[in-house]
Structure 1
Amino acid sequence: MTTGIAASRPRTSLPRALARIALGAFLLVAGISHLTTNREAFQAQVPEWLPLDADFVVLASGVVEILLGLALIVLPRQRVLVGWVTAAFFVAIFPGNISQFVTATDSFGLNTDLARGIRLLFQPLLVLWALWSTGAWRDWRIRRSSTSAER
């Protein structure tokens, strides 16, 4: 017998579950590359105005990506919370992408304004991916409609 939020939360579909696991795998690979092969490339994306050491930012964000990736894969019962946290993380790192565009910083083969601009368009898609694949957006809509129905 389940109680509380879990009892009212709809089960996730296979496409959503696969998308959540794929996002988790993507974050794991990206996080590991922060700590290893792409460390310098990620450092180039840290905005100069950020009052933190670029290497620290890259290492910390890599660890966060690894933890989020693992959480997306191994904590399906917490998927809604993990979805919101993952979406917030993607929003938090967006200024780095904007900075790379504004300062025309070459990194990851993004050596034109067009390439850097196209990359900016993918960040909102990552936010949507996190919210859809975890059911976070659906859960919020259900809660909102049930709350307004109770009024």
Structure 2
Amino acid sequence: MSQTLRVVGRVLLAAALGVAGIAHFARTDEFLGQVPTFLPWRDAIVIVSGVVELILAIALLTLRGKRLALLGWVVALFFVAVFPGNVWQAVHGSSSFGLDTTTSRVVRLFFQPLLVVWALWCTGAWARRDRWRPTRAIERVEGS
């Protein structure tokens, strides 16, 4: 049952990333509301992040085993990397995506850690974290 829930969670996360990735192309102006105005090439940042989301979505549906667990860390890091844009939106009052109040923008910030946890859980990355400890790798090399 746990494995089935993880697969369902992974498919749902892939769908969410896929929809968001496509939306980067269809609603670029909405995504610009999350990119700080002081950054150069804001349009390119929106497009590239959309491409990254599409690649992550496809990878979530195709990778298995160790590669899937590693991908979980990559997806989690992606969610951490885009978080400053969400903070910028909240601080500067950008009303993109219908977030037109300070409360709605701040509440949204609390969902980003949930996305990180979701990525680590549904890919098995968190469960496999002990296998990547540097000391384990050293012990394996010394023990051979």
- CA shift, 1:80, in A, is 0.5
1:16 counterpart (6, 24, 27): 6
* Aligned partner of 1:99 among 73, 88, 96: 88
Q: Deviations over 1:17-61 (max 9, x none)?
A: 11011101110110001011x2110011101233x3111010000
Distance in 1 of aligned mates of 2:37 and 2:13: 29
Distance 1:29 1:80 in 2: 22
CA offsets, 1:79-104, max 9 Å, x none? Answer: 11111110000000000000000101
- 2:51 alignment partner AA: V
Alignment match, 1:119: 108
Structure 2: gaps (5+ residues): 140-144
Aligned-pair Cα RMSD in Å: 2.0
Match for residue 5 of structure 1? Answer: none
Match of 2:43 in 1: 55
Equivalent position to 2:77, from 81, 88, 93: 88
What SS does the aligned partner of 1:48 have?
coil
State how far apart, in whole Å, the 2-side matches of 1:18 and 1:45 are.
Answer: 29
Letter in 2 for 1:23: L
Aligned pair partner of 1:72 in 43, 49, 60: 60
Following TM superposition, where does structure 1 have runs of at least 4 consecutive aligned residues deviating by more than 3 angstroms? 141-144
Partner SS for 2:127: helix
Superposition deviation, residue 142 in structure 1: 5.2
* Structure whose residues are more often helix by fraction: 2
Return the alpha-carbon distance in structure 1 between the equivalents of residues 94 and 32 of structure 2. Answer: 11
Relative to the length of structure 2, the TM-score reads 0.87
Percent identity of paired positions between Structure 1 and Structure 2: 49
CA distance in 2, matches of 1:57, 1:18: 30
The aligned amino acid for 1:62 is G
